[in-house]
Amino acid sequence: MGSSSKLEKLAYEDRISNLPDPILTHILSFLPTKSAVGTTVLSKRWKSPFMSLPNLDFNDSVSIYRDMFGWDSRQKVSFMNFVDRILMLRGNDLNLERFSLNCVGNYHLTRVDEWIRIVVGHNVKEINLTLNFREVYKLVEDVYMCTSIEVFRLKWKILVDVPENVSFFSLKFLQFTGVKFASYESVEKLLRCCPVLEDLVIENCKWLSGCCLSVCGSALKNFSLDSYSYLDTDVELTILIDTPALETLDIRELTSEGIFIKENLFSITTASIDVAQKVERSVPSSVYGDSVFGLLKKISHVKYLTLCQSTLGALSYASDFSFPTFHDLNQLELIVDAWSGWTLLPSILGSAPNLETLVFPQFSSQSQFFRFSWSPPDRVPDCLSSKLKSIEIKNFQGINDEFSLVKYLLKHGRVLEMMSIDCSLLADDAKIQKKLYKFRRASSTCKLFL
């Protein structure tokens, strides 16, 4: 009987609450902030560990739909009071690892200012702001003086107006998505105060003034620029890149009149270039095409390169038609465009003597108005006869010129190990397969996959 009572007592004993504060805090850190708050109603014992949480994530998504349909504005007030209470009760000596705020609708912006000031005072290392207020929120200046911040993400209706004093001495990752900048030039002003910044992402942002987007940073390793969904036709924009240590470059851009890289990027390993001149252009297409060739020459040490259809279209207009030699290029992905088709392919292959992998995500145009023609070069590219091992073709439609190109690649691919062909939905797979298997292969080890 005594043994049974002892077991019953152990079954109801709250062992978790008896754990040390650091362990309880670690357990709570895996819960959403709102759920972690709920543990404090279980016992006063949980209050201290909760107040020491390293990460605070506030998301008003529960009340978003009520506010959208005008049901209960008190939900917003309740959310603001909740954030106030959590931040105010936190001890001044407790640092923060991460602060995330996701808000939509009508908010008191002065209260948002105060929240950010508080987290800056806690030596926060990561700030994520996703704000879609009814009016644009101007980022409070205190955040620019945060010497502890290492990761900073800003999204949606936020105005970035860089002050004179910026102290992002620890910042390594910076991302802007859909925000507004006071000017193009403010980006350079900000970046010059980020001495250890390694990653920069600029996606679909708007600019209130200026005409030169300058991206700089001696420590910057990865840069991504995407301006496809936003067009500013009134600005003759120039993009300058001064990042000597850059390793990864991803550009999707059709708002500028030219992209210029200051120095050869000797550390570059991966690049994806998707650029096009805007319709209301102020410089000739040949000049823009020359600037794209100039960009390629600065990244000629790249190992993995993607050239999109708009890029190939721009290159086809250039007056100085000369590709640099990509000695280190191992993998090339070409998304051919409907205008220039495969006309650039011989020159591109001829400029990549050590290419081993060739990928066509879009092999030819689906438009009935464009029919690609394949004209073999006088000299077989070196990579095709001695290095190219793998070719991947997607959206194969089975038109005659496609067969001509595949036949050429198989005929001259002496070390080819694999060719993979993915047919389009409307293609006759059986008919295509029968025709392809009749082509002679220069490589006895080449396997054909359909």
User: Residue for token digits 């020459």?
Assistant: 297
Residue spans per domain, the chain? 15-53, 325-450
Q: Looking at residue 249, what is its pLDDT?
A: 98
Structure confidence at residue 445 (pLDDT): 94
User: 109-121 vs 74-88: helix axis angle to the nearest 10?
Assistant: 20
Distance CA 246, CA 189 (A): 19
Mean pLDDT of 279-292: 82
Residue of 389 and 62 predicted with greater confidence: 389
Q: Report residue 332 CA to chain centroid gap.
A: 19
Closest CA to 61 of 98, 99, 101, 31: 101
Q: In this predicted model, what pLDDT tens digit does every residue of 367-417 receive, in sequence order?
A: 555 556 788 899 999 999 999 999 999 988 888 888 999 999 999 999 999
* Percent of the chain surpassing pLDDT 90: 54
Going by pLDDT thresholds of 50, 70 and 90, the confidence category of residue 88 is confident
What is the side-by-side order of every strand in the sheet holding 206-207? 137-138, 158-160, 180-181, 206-207
Pairing of strands 304-307, 256-261: unpaired
- pLDDT at position 63 is 47
Lowest mean pLDDT among 17-26, 154-163, 206-215: 17-26
Is a pLDDT exceeding 70 seen at residue 15?
A: no
Model-wide pTM > 0.75: yes
Residue reference for tokens 């550390």: 267
pLDDT band at 7 (very low <50, low <70, confident <90, very high): very low
The length of the chain, given as a count of residues: 450
Mark 18-37 as b/e (b = at least 16 C-beta within 10 Å): eeeeeebbeebeebebeebb
* Per-residue burial over 96-131, b = 16 or more CB atoms within 10 Å of its CB, e = otherwise: bbbbbbbbbbebeeeebbbbbebbbebebbbbbbbb
Highest mean pLDDT among 190-199, 307-316, 336-345, 437-446: 190-199
Contacts of 230 (CB under 8 A, 6+ apart): 204, 205, 206, 255
Identify whether the C-beta of residue 313 lies closer than 8 Å to the C-beta of residue 341: no
Taking Cα atoms as reference points, which of 145, 90, 134 lies closest to residue 112?
134
Select from 70, 49, 88, 68 the least CA-distant residue to 132.
68
- 159: which DSSP letter? E
Nearest to 66 by CA among 112, 109, 105: 105
Longest dimension (CA), the chain: 98
Residue 324 is given by DSSP the state: P
Q: Is 360 exposed, middle or buried (0-12, 13-18, 19+ CB in 10 A)?
A: buried
pLDDT, average across residues 192-221 = 95
